[in-house]
Structure 1
Amino acid sequence: MRILVIGYMHAKFDKRVYRTVEALSKHHEVIYQYWTDRNEKQTQFEEKANIKYVPVIYTKGTQGNPLKKLMNRRRFDKRISQLIEQEEYDILYMHHFLASRPLKPFKIAKTKKKKIIYDVHEFHPENFLANLKGMSKTLKEHVMWNVFKKQLQLSDNVIFVSEEMKNYVLGKMKFKNKKVLVMPNYASFATKANIEDKKREIIYVGKTPRNLEKEAELLNRLAKEGFSFKVVGNSSQKIAGISHVSVPFLPYKDMMEEISRAMFSLISYMRANSGEPRNDSFALPHKYFDSLA
């Protein structure tokens, strides 16, 4: 059996996506599309390896030109649509929908009479274009609920990241016989750090730059109590007014061991809108499994 895995904007070794690629490749051939911002060559199936890598290039963060940004994404989405249309496979495994063509991959696969597995990482009606506000936000969520429902109807199997998201979505859409699976995130291995050996240290891991303004007062108070603050994975990050030590990117195993030696791990994020966004409850807590080492 051959499975086409669409990673979409996920990098090659995204933990959730690549874990499915590795698991499926133990018994089946896997064609794996992933995002890259570099020129990488597409591979063929190798002997003893059931994975064919298909990198699709896209430059993120086009600044100051929304039209160019939109056109870049549309070209990116078109390339992936062509891949889904042209490749030979038995199952299409979607890790995210195409932003400018949210139903296109599902319709192509159905036309080709292929099975579809949809791995729902986020609560899409809310998380997609999350920065919109007011009437734009209300209209977007109304449209996205209809799109999301159609995506699920076209999917043969749906995977959710949490039981809470599964129950809410299936209840709202009144699906009764949909084949579903809950697959939480989890770390790739367990650490065995002795609690008595943990350092009086607070560790923050992540490549996304954040100024940590809201955490500054707490971190500075804890510093007076003898705690140090360490930032791993973004040595260029500028954190004003907070004494800290910066450590560059670490391989996964080394990062996990670094986290396990600290007494506390800091998780920082900003809500796109006020209130209690459901994505914060349904998906975000399940993204922080590594920070619990």
Structure 2
Amino acid sequence: MKTTKFLFLSSLFFLLITMHSFAQKKTLKDYVLFYSSFDGKASADIAVGDAQIYTAKSYKNTTNAKAGLHDSNVVLAKEKGIYGDAIHFKEAKTSAIFYKAYKNVGYSSTSWSGTISFWLRLDPNKELASHYCDPICITDSKWSDAGLWVDFTDHNPRQFRYGAMGDLAVWNPNNDSDETDWNKRTVTVNPSPFQSRTWTHVAMVFSKVNTKAKSEFKLYLNAKLQGVIKDINDPFTWEPKNGKIMLGLGYIGFMDELAVFDKALLPKEIKTIYELKSGLKAVFE
């Protein structure tokens, strides 16, 4: 009996050591689900799901979306990126430009954590149209219904926000949300640090979504924490195959190095991305 117990404990100890060793060996590249460098092409360099970028007339009807960029106001800008090329939204009124989120963002109805990482370059107080705009929004429906997004407000000077809006039927069932509801679900940076000649790194971190624990959402700019959304537990209920990584909603400016990780990155990992000398391609070499 003692021998059996000893063997069991020895095996368990060996398993724990092995698992810890494996975890220690995992690097940033092991967590990448999706990565688009925008270098020479708009399709993703790495994708667990569909790598194509799509263009549709609007987000209300994407059934006939065409693969590729098919809007003269949305182009690849050669050598304009922080590393190589970038995608450039030249006008606010554009078609619906998106990647399919299915498998590419790791969505789970029971436990969803991850990080959205990208770079932006613009002067929001001089270059944007007067209305709100979203450089990126990830949802299967709309920004206010199970959506993760960042936007520039219409304030003067512009504010930059990270929003985490769960199921509309849960957080705003009567369509009567007030400032308290919004403040619980947004991080606001005022004034925003963006400049026309300087790239700014953005990291949208989220953890424990769709679990019984309280979700947490963190916004980092240039590897510095800007704020945390916590003490909410709104469900994010998707039809997974309808999920989209929507780009450039009313946005005017550049975007580069778009990546999705399947874990809530630690501050030191976000700093590593921010300090890379040649972009995320370096972690795959």
TM-score (norm 1): 0.27
Structure 1 or 2: more helix by fraction: 1
Q: Which structure carries more relative contact order (alpha carbon 8 Å, separation 6+)?
A: 2
More strand by share: 2
TM-score (norm 2): 0.27
